[in-house]
Structure 1
Amino acid sequence: MTEKDIPRYQSIRVLLAYRLVDLCVPFFILAIVHFLLSSQTWHEPYTWLGGMAGLLFMVFTQLLGGYSRFVERSVAKKIEIVFKTWAFNVLLLMFIAYLNLAVLGLARSVILVWVVLTPFIILFTKVLINYKSRSTQQGRTEVLVLGDGYHFNEFELAQLKRHNIRLHPIDEYDEDVLHEKVEALSPDFLVINLDKSAEHKLVKQLTHLDLKGVQLLALHHFMENFLRKCYIPYESSELSYLERIRSYDRINFLVKRVLDVSAALSLGLITLPIMLYAALKIRRESPGPIIFSQARVARSGKELVIYKFRSMHVDAEKNGAQFAQEDDPRAYEFGAFMRKTRIDELPQLWNVLKGDLHFVGPRPERKVFTEKLEEDIPYYNERHLVSPGITGWAQVLYPYGANTEDARQKLMYDLYYIKHWSIWLEIETLIRTVLVVLGRKGL
């Protein structure tokens, strides 16, 4: 089974609701904007424009696979489909309206606000429907897990529970137990999680189950599609894994660089008063340098110097280098506040403008840590295929890490980000970063 063959939607009701939203929302938003902003009476061209917009939105979404049971349920995918569809929609409507001269009688302010507002309303509505549908019985995904090669941790189980995915483990293979579980549960997926090669008897039974319509899924496929992380075993000789992780191509790097500079300049201007206040607060509360600089490992294993507001006491590492913790006792009061709100990261905007860092990417680590982690975790060096970032996929999805296992878990998210990078995943990461800073758990 390939990733495109994995059904993410168990109920078609959600997809029907998406169609209804796409058909009706453009017309209703146009009507509301016209009512609020225009003193003119409602003209026939408005009816034509709103109706055509909804109809075309459905058509383009269908062409992009937005109503398929196999389309990803991620926010990134929804952003991609909604904004691509709306862009095609607006261009086509402008062309048709120009040919019919229908646009001449419409208020420009109404059309402009409608064009900007509509995709965001549709996206928010779909995310809300997706969230609500997963809490229903019809939206539940039953997963039978065969074997105990990988032990799902509490964080992963909680994440699966939030998405209404229930795991039913079978630790040791038993032909009768497997048969009974399949008959009783009628699972949506059977995940192969073995810690050794399958015997002929098991292969035969799995083949029969596959022929009967049971969806067999390898562990690494399950984790990428439902936990959005790349599985990393502690012991592995599967060197083909390295082929699947690649750095950005030239076009993607250029797009990412434009996003970096735009985000760094915009955020720098917006947060300039906050940075000035932070500098004064640090000076008063913790004597010592305001800016903390440190060498971190960057792309290709090279080192660079990053800059942060100092959030810890000057003698924080008198006992040696340590992993950062969520409530780190080495931080003073305002320093702890800066760490929770990510204010301490703001000076790194200078690193982004210089090209040392991306705005989004794997977290830059110290060489003393990376050398140890490279010995303990397979493929750890793969995160250095790209430049690190101020925020990242691992940082917004996984809590603070304080040991090797946490570093392994974060690496799984970093590799997923590198492997699946797109501008849409970038935008989702930025949205999640804002929610984390505001104290929310995410989407």
Structure 2
Amino acid sequence: MMKKDVPRYQSARVIWMYCVVDLCAPLLTLLCVLFLFSDQVWKDAYTWLGIFSGILFLLSTQLLGGYSRYVERSIAKKIEIVFKTWALSVLVLMVIAYFNLTMFDFARSVILIWVALTPFAILFIKVFINQKSRSDSKGSTEILVLGNGYQFNQFELAQLKRHNVQLHTVMEYDEAILRDKVASLSPDFLVMNLDKSAKPQLIKQLTHLDLKGVQLLALHHFMENFLRKCYIPYESTELSYLERIHSYNRINYLTKRVVDIFVCVSLALLTWPVMLYAVRKIRQESPGATFFKQSRVGLNGKDFQAIKFRSMHENSTFNPYTQEEDPRIFPFGNIMRRTRIDELPQLWNVFVGDMHLFGPRTEWNILVEGYEKEIPYYHERHLVRPGISGWAQVLYPYGANTEDARQKLMYDLYYIKHWSIWLEIETLIRTVFVVLGRKGL
């Protein structure tokens, strides 16, 4: 990814704090692990191991571009850099320890726990620093938006504000006005959000601005890098859009299935008492079927039966959308919906391969027919299996109309296009925070 495609840190102070964390965290984590999990005394060998691993981790992070002012600040990118560099550091340490015959100087249990915990400690501290620096930052990323082809909604503007991104819009395609605005604002980026075809004079002016160092961004690049969603044009005339979204390759699919099976089995073992309690409460508050089955659209547009705990009274009034204080939902049904307990039976759908743990949300086939008529490229979300949770569910509030479905589709397509194990882990982390009621991650 090019430097001009991502937001930069406004202050180098954050980068220096990252360096200090990478240098000191391995030694401090080793000290804590030895104190908590072993009665062995501290040795000089542990001191050298902690110092050398910190230096090695620092150098490895530098090689991967982890200290760039333009480094992507997403959790997925931090996870990737931290775990890759730590794996490389541990590998080098193992080789050095083997050839120097120092492996027997350490307690094996201490080293294993230290190797497992250190990347999580570093990641937690870096995310905290990033969040703190974002809230304390006095500067902001200044974005000059040329045109009004896409109108940013209030949710997007609030999301940009949380990341200290300030938008300034220029509606007139006038050379003098644009030049004066650039001169007075000195924007970090100029986003081309044109609502009509660019004339040769405007293209010439933008070219001159690019040569002078003004960093130009197309709207779809801005959306993906700042809002982490794929822009969907209202008119379905851009056939090249169909090239950008692809299904998972074989390795990615196998990786997702491994994650699916592991997490499903783990969750089933942890939550079976909760599921048994839910069965009892459903029978007490709303006699009838315990489970709710509905035809949902899955991979390649084929229908399957999704299973959930029933949260509404049987034979309720038909309405495809759930409203606030919906009278059809019985009291414990509300609790299940808020805590996502009603989704637990879908672990079976994941286990048998109808769904993934994470992916585009399963949609009722009746709603899908309507969405496909009104939302361009909607069927692209069926290139992959749906998920119990997903990128759209953890980043966008509950939707109740077609425009909300369009907004969620943008997040779904971003997830499909940019899928990686690191984005999967970030989605898992965000899902946990949503379930716990904290959405500000």
- TM interval, shorter chain, is over 0.9
Structure-1 separation of matches of 2:92 and 2:186 = 46
Q: In the alignment, is the contact (CA less than 8 A) between 2:4 and 2:215 conserved in 1?
A: no
- CA-to-aligned-CA distance 1:159-218 (integer Å, 9 cap, x gap): 111111111112333333322221221111111111111122222221221111111111
Q: 1:387 to 1:169 in 2, by over 3 A?
A: same
Equivalent residues of 1:3, 1:221 under 8 A apart: no
Match of 2:421 in 1: 423
State the match for 1:307 in structure 2: 307
Residue matched to 2:43: 43
Paired position in structure 2 for 1:148: 148
Q: Does 1:323 align with 2:325?
A: no
Which of 401, 404, 412 is the matching residue for 1:403?
401
SS at match of 1:331: coil
Check conservation: 1:191, 1:217, Cα contact below 8 A.
Answer: yes
Which amino acid in the other structure matches residue 207 of structure 1? T
Deviation by residue 1:223-274 (Cα, 9 ceiling, x = unmatched)? 0001000000111311111111000011111110011011111001100000
Q: Which residue of 1 aligns with 2:27?
A: 27
Work out the CA distance in 1 between the residues paired with 2:271 and 2:32.
34
**CA 1:3/1:225 → structure 2, altered by over 3 Å: closer, same or farther?**
farther
Q: What is the number of residues matched between the two proteins? A: 441
Q: State how far apart, in whole Å, the 2-side matches of 1:83 and 1:139 are.
A: 30
| CA deviation after TM superposition for structure 1 residue 427, in Å | 0.7
| Aligned residues of 2:5 and 2:225 also touching (Cα < 8 A) | no
Q: Counterpart of 2:108?
A: 108
Q: TM-score under structure 2 normalisation?
A: 0.96
Change (3 A) 1:312 1:428: same
- Quick check: 2:358–2:388 contact (8 Å CA) kept in 1? yes
Matching of residues 152-301 of structure 1 within 5 Å: 152-301=152-301
Tell me the amino acid that sits aligned with residue 161 of structure 1: K
CA separation in 1, counterparts of 2:183 and 2:325? 47
> Using the alignment, how far apart are the partners of 1:88 and 1:8 within structure 2?
26
* 64-73 or 393-402, which deviates more: 64-73
Percent of paired sites with the same residue: 69
Mapped to 2, the partners of 1:213 and 1:136 lie a distance apart of 28
Alpha carbons 2:307, 2:346 under 8 Å: kept: yes
For residues 371-386 of structure 1, what are the structure 2 equivalents within 5 Å? Answer: 371-386=369-384
Which residue of the other structure, out of 326, 332, 335, is the alignment partner of 2:333?
335
Q: Which residue of the partner structure matches residue 351 of structure 2? A: 353
**Deviation of 1:113 (Å):** 2.2
CA distance in 2, matches of 1:350, 1:165: 42
Q: Answer whether contact 1:29 1:114 (CA < 8 A) is retained.
A: yes
Equivalent residue for 1:368? 366
Specify which of 428, 433, 436 is matched with residue 435 of structure 1: 433
- Cα 1:51–1:219 shift into 2, 3 Å: same
Contact 2:264–2:350 (Cα < 8 Å) also in 1: yes
2:391 equivalent in structure 1: 393
Query: Which residue identity lines up with residue 182 of structure 2 in the other structure?
Result: V
Q: Distance in 2 between matches of 1:39 and 1:222?
A: 54
Contact 2:311 2:334 in 1 (8 A): yes
TM-score (norm 1): 0.96
Question: The residue matched to 2:305 in structure 1 has which SS?
Answer: strand
- The 1:131/1:326 distance shift into structure 2, 3 A limit, reads farther
Cα separation, partners in 2 of 1:312 and 1:412, compared to 1, 3 Å: same
Of 196-205 and 227-236, more deviation after overlay is shown by 196-205
User: How far does residue 425 in structure 1 lie from its aligned partner after superposition?
Assistant: 0.5
Q: Alpha-carbon deviations, 1:25-63, whole Å to 9, x = none? A: 111211232234444432221111111100111121122
Measured in 2, the distance between the counterparts of 1:172 and 1:4 equals: 24
Asked if the contact 2:340/2:435 (under 8 Å) is kept, the reply is yes
3-state SS of paired residue (1:271):
helix
> Which residue identity is paired with 1:225?
N
Judge conservation of contact 2:361–2:393 (CA < 8 Å) in 1: yes
User: What letter is aligned with 1:237?
Assistant: T
* CA contact 2:61–2:82 (8 Å) conserved in 1: yes
Distance 2:4 2:180 in 1: 29
Q: 1:375-401 CA deviation, whole Å, 9 max, x = no partner?
A: 101100000000001010001111111
Q: Cα deviation per residue 1:409-435 (whole Å; 9 max; x = unaligned)?
A: 000000000000001101111111111
Structure 2: runs of 5 or more not aligned: none
Report the AA paired with residue 53 of structure 1: S
Q: After TM superposition, give the deviation of residue 3 of structure 1 in Å.
A: 7.0
CA distance in 2, matches of 1:137, 1:31: 33
Separation (CA, whole Å) in 2 of partners of 1:137 and 1:121: 24
Distance 1:375 1:202, change over 3 A: same
Residues 324 and 400 in structure 1, CA contact (< 8 A), matched pair in contact too? no
Q: Could you tell me which amino acid in structure 2 is paired with residue 12 of structure 1? A: A
**C-alpha contact 1:324 1:401 (8 A) present in aligned 2:** no
Secondary structure of residue in 2 paired with 1:166: strand
Q: Please give the secondary structure, in 2, of the residue aligned with 1:135.
A: helix
Q: Is this contact kept in 1: 2:247–2:416, CA < 8 A? A: yes
Cα distance in 2 for partners of 1:268, 1:40 equals 38
Distance 1:30 1:3, change over 3 A: same
Cα distance in 1, alignment partners of residues 298 and 322 from structure 2: 19
Query: Could you tell me how far apart the structure 2 residues matched to 1:139 and 1:355 are?
Result: 48
8 Å CA contact retained: 1:325, 1:400: no
Residues 394 and 411 in structure 1, CA contact (< 8 A), matched pair in contact too: yes
The range that moved more, 198-207 or 412-421, is 198-207
The CA deviation string for residues 41-91 of structure 1, in whole angstroms up to 9 with x for no partner, is 322211111111001111211222212233311001111111111111112
In 1, Cα distance between equivalents of 2:252 and 2:323: 33
Paired with 2:162 and 2:236, the residues of 1 have a C-alpha distance of: 31
| 1:281 Cα deviation from its structure 2 partner | 0.3
